[in-house]
Structure 1
Amino acid sequence: MVRSKLDRFVQVLIPPSLILLLTFTIIELFYNLPGWFVFTLELFDAYVIIIFAIDLYYRWFETPKFVPYVKKHWLDIIATIPFPFIFWGVEGLALLQGLKGIRLLARAARALKAARLTKLSRMIRLIRFGTRAPRIARLKGQVKEGKIRKVQPHEKTMKGVLSFKVILLITINSIMGTGIWFLTSAGAKYAGPASLISWVILALIAIYISMCFGELVSMFPKAGGVYEFGKQAYGRFASFVIGWTTSIAGSVTIAMLILGALQYLLPNSPQYYIPAAIALILAFSYVAFRGMDTSTYVLVTFSLITLTAVIGIIIPGLFNFNPSNMSPFFVFPTMSIALAIFFIAETFFGWESAIFLAAETKNPSKVMPRALITGTIVIAVLAFLLAFTAMGTIPWEKFSESAAPLRDLGVAHFGQLGGLIFSLLIFVSVIGATAGWIVTAPRLLMAIAEDKLFFTQFAKIHPKYK
């Protein structure tokens, strides 16, 4: 009995651990990261090797003959070879050789040596990626394809209580609280006044994408969102990868939003960032624990504050608009419009956060598509007006170089006190988007757990705070 429990525990651990290993390995492959990150990744790799070794131990009881055992599990056996320890030694020798060269060579030669070390480091990272490939390749075998249920367990427990207005405001909160405050100046930086064309093109693309999400969620109005779409279209393995990738991306998004909000409000007090971030995450986690009723009040409040802040900046901008700021309109080559689209595209990210609530929405097949499309149109109009009035109030050259563009707009419209007030409003808006992710994302893990691709405890719903 002890053996079977540990075996089941390891079987559940392996797939998400491999997804994390793959994600961090790709990051390491393309970026020259600090030593502490590499060391942490190596420790995590060692942890994966250990759980693979435990898994191999239990597989022996299923095939207790050496040759058949090796034929069946040869990839797992290769995956347990501790390559990280070998490459720690190789990297250490490379570093010693590099330090020796730096002491002996002149300044010009040191630069050449540093370039060689960088190339060697990249090569070692590539080889290290290859050594982890057997473990990552084992992922598909860990996710068994099976019959896809038409009705998920949570659909029998969760009640549809959210109306169109609530979902619309939550959608606006999830999308608008991310890029609209930080990326309007990025568009001006790369395309000048012509970035307004970028906003129009991006708005049309975003509306089309919202229609795609709306169609999918009307067909599969379940809590899993993108995980459920992937499962219905491509099967359990693809949906598992999509679901866990979305979960990891959501966690990164939460960290980025909180850091961005704190930097906006307290640019000169980095010592408060970590304790403030921990406090905010715990507070919003408690809101999520209290159930959808409490979460709805909090998220709707954040959405109304966000809309108030945007409209409060746009309206005075219409009265202070200076047409000369738009001349010349085409400052950069025409291709800069496409470049600006690339940098401002994140403004419309966030649909996936809203669709996790489909199972708790009244008549989701009709309400969710309407809310997604309407919310996207509202955000598109507000984002265009915000960029238009911002560049009409402040010359685009100055606006594009500002570290806090919306705070500068508040100062331009209402003085220093206005800048402080709008900084606070923007902080609350961005934190609201963080709250949206923290409240909705557990439904994704619940859907994964219901398919027994994660710990089944995550599929349980609180009997009181449903």
Structure 2
Amino acid sequence: MARTGAAPSTPDRTGADPAPGGPTPGGGFGGRLMRRKPVDRLVAEGGHGDGGELKRSLGMWQLTMISIGATLGTGIFVVLGEAVPKAGPAVVISFVIAGFTALFSALSYAELAGSIPVSGSSYSYTYATMGEFIAWLCGWCLILEYGVSVAAVAVGWGQYLNELLDGTIGVTIPDAFANPPGAGGVVNIPALLVVLLSMAFLLRGARESARVNTVMVVVKIASLVLFCAVAFTGIRAGNFHPLMPLGMAGVSAAGATLFFSYIGFDAASTAGEEAKNPKRDMPRAIILSLFIVTVLYCLVALVAVGAMPWQQFSDADAALAQILRQVTGQSFWAVLLAAGAVIAIASVVLTVLYGQTRILFSMSRDGLVPKIFSKVDPKTGTPRANTVIVSLFCGILAALVPLGELANATSIGTLFAFALVNVAVIILRRTRPDLPRTFRVAFSPVTPAIGFLLCLWMMTSLGAQTWKWFGIWMAGGLVLYFTYGMRRSQLAREEV
């Protein structure tokens, strides 16, 4: 099991890092909010849960597949229909801009994942640098990002499953059993089914679920490559003119929309305690996954706008399928693409659900959520109770609750976490310059500062309704922290 070789530091009463130059919060109420968990202690506790240890079984390839699995899903199958009307054929440039924007935060994630290889992702990074209160807010945002998005993606899976069934056997699931109450149905059975299937794989162990995810990722990449190969025959040079019919403003607007197609690259950082060589492999997996996803997005976008005039991208839910029908004059290829979409979205559910359980595992070990979430099964090396509870919650949410604007609020939650990670890099460089780093962000603190500002800019581009739901979510998180987490945290108990 990979370790730093350093013994766990003994925290002071605030939990602050005893390293020279590290700021030590004062006492009182403010001091309790800012108590930090030393980096060496975070790393030393890695892998340990209540009743067992997580198993280190994931290599760089599997970590990369986890990040790709969490990123490459519904976005590419629906995003073109939303972005092309804004940017025209220059949507390819918009993808590059969005990927470049995501890269700044990805670099910060890569540095911290290699320095603090634990399961908590940005929650743990902020706990070590900005204190418990900010860490709780970050963790609460991650619960929104991962938990609610699992339910939202599961709902989308049911819609694509219906398309596939209709195209193959001419049967569709009745609306009553394919939509939740309030959205024209009684219960969304497909959404519940895909979450429960993902739970079954996760309960078998990280290695087994990673293998299943790898197969699904390969299939969905192959389906997108197949789309490019078939649609390439329909490319017409005239479809690229004019390149920017709505100007650079349209390209930028589309880039802001497309940024959310990159959310998920941070999933590998939640596997820090199950990676064989996390300090080496996690930074590589994060950067490699972002590169692969960006190349695929740009390739698909280039072929798509070349094969169909940009003015015809009106059906946001079936743009790629529409292109294949037009190019080939057959429905076979569109059905094959629907099959790829079903697998793609199932992979997102599996990997995002995995990330949610590992974040709650870390928060539970720190005492901020109940201990049942950090109980590890000694046979499988997985947090079984955690996995079952989270899966049932997400499955019921997807099956019975119309998510609406709450699902859109996941975008703000994600960007908030990204912003904090960029700040954490700057702080850790100052407070722990001696910390071994297998990857270093170039031109720090300028690069992470740009990443932070880009996240804020993306947040301000979101609508008022999304901000309202985000505010309600954060208010609930504050209530939970001050009534439960603040008093029951591990650092709080050590202060007594």
Match of 2:241 among 306, 323, 327: 327
Unmatched segments (≥5 aa) in structure 2:
1-28, 164-171, 179-187, 382-496
Match of 1:153 among 38, 45, 52: 45
Matched, 1:313 2:205: no
Aligned residue runs from structure 1 range 232-251, under 5 A: 232-251=128-147
Q: So what's the TM-score if we normalise by structure 2?
A: 0.63
Q: What is residue 74 of structure 1 aligned with on the other side? A: none
Task: Give the direction of change, closer, same or farther, for the CA distance of 1:393–1:445 in structure 2 (3 Å limit).
Answer: same
Task: Give the direction of change, closer, same or farther, for the CA distance of 1:337–1:147 in structure 2 (3 Å limit).
Answer: closer
Whole-angstrom distance in 2 between the partners of 1:203 and 1:224 = 24
Q: Size of the alignment, in residue pairs? A: 328
Task: Give the direction of change, closer, same or farther, for the CA distance of 1:394–1:265 in structure 2 (3 Å limit).
Answer: farther
Whole-angstrom distance in 1 between the partners of 2:134 and 2:146 = 18
Q: What is residue 85 of structure 2 aligned with on the other side? A: 189
Task: Give the direction of change, closer, same or farther, for the CA distance of 1:263–1:184 in structure 2 (3 Å limit).
Answer: same
Matched, 1:395 2:289: no
Task: Identify the range of structure 1 (440-449 vs 400-409) with the bigger mean alpha-carbon deviation.
Answer: 400-409
Code of the aligned partner of 1:221: P
Q: Which has the higher contact order (CA 8 A, sep 6+)?
A: 2
Task: Identify the range of structure 1 (231-240 vs 199-208) with the bigger mean alpha-carbon deviation.
Answer: 199-208
Q: What is residue 103 of structure 2 aligned with on the other side? A: 207
Displacement of 1:203 after TM fit?
Answer: 2.2
Task: Give the direction of change, closer, same or farther, for the CA distance of 1:402–1:153 in structure 2 (3 Å limit).
Answer: closer
Whole-angstrom distance in 2 between the partners of 1:303 and 1:142 = 44
Q: What is residue 61 of structure 2 aligned with on the other side? A: 165
Give deviations 1:359-409, integer Å, cap 9, x for gaps.
111211111111111111111111011011001111111124453112213
Q: What is residue 86 of structure 1 aligned with on the other side? A: none
Aligned residue runs from structure 1 range 64-463, under 5 A: 145=35, 147-148=37-38, 149-151=41-43, 153-156=45-48, 157-266=53-162, 269-273=174-178, 274-414=188-328, 415-463=330-378
The structure whose Rg is larger is 1
Whole-angstrom distance in 1 between the partners of 2:35 and 2:367 = 12
Code of the aligned partner of 1:245: C
Task: Give the direction of change, closer, same or farther, for the CA distance of 1:287–1:321 in structure 2 (3 Å limit).
Answer: same
Whole-angstrom distance in 1 between the partners of 2:211 and 2:37 = 38
* Cα contact 1:287–1:439 (8 A) shared by 2: no
Q: After TM superposition, what 4+ stretches of structure 1 lie above 4 angstroms from structure 2?
A: 140-144
Could you say what secondary structure the match of 1:424 adopts?
helix
Whole-angstrom distance in 1 between the partners of 2:283 and 2:43 = 20
Displacement of 1:183 after TM fit?
Answer: 0.9
* Cα contact 2:35–2:132 (8 A) shared by 1: yes
Task: Give the direction of change, closer, same or farther, for the CA distance of 1:212–1:154 in structure 2 (3 Å limit).
Answer: closer
Whole-angstrom distance in 1 between the partners of 2:246 and 2:34 = 53
Task: Identify the range of structure 1 (363-372 vs 207-216) with the bigger mean alpha-carbon deviation.
Answer: 207-216
Displacement of 1:205 after TM fit?
Answer: 2.1
| Percent identity for Structure 1 against Structure 2 | 23
Give deviations 1:313-358, integer Å, cap 9, x for gaps.
1122333211111112121132111111111111100023221111
Q: What is residue 77 of structure 1 aligned with on the other side? A: none
Displacement of 1:152 after TM fit?
Answer: 5.0
Displacement of 1:257 after TM fit?
Answer: 0.8
Displacement of 1:220 after TM fit?
Answer: 0.7
Displacement of 1:225 after TM fit?
Answer: 0.6
Whole-angstrom distance in 2 between the partners of 1:208 and 1:144 = 27
* Cα contact 2:74–2:345 (8 A) shared by 1: yes
Unmatched segments (≥5 aa) in structure 1:
1-137
Whole-angstrom distance in 2 between the partners of 1:465 and 1:451 = 22
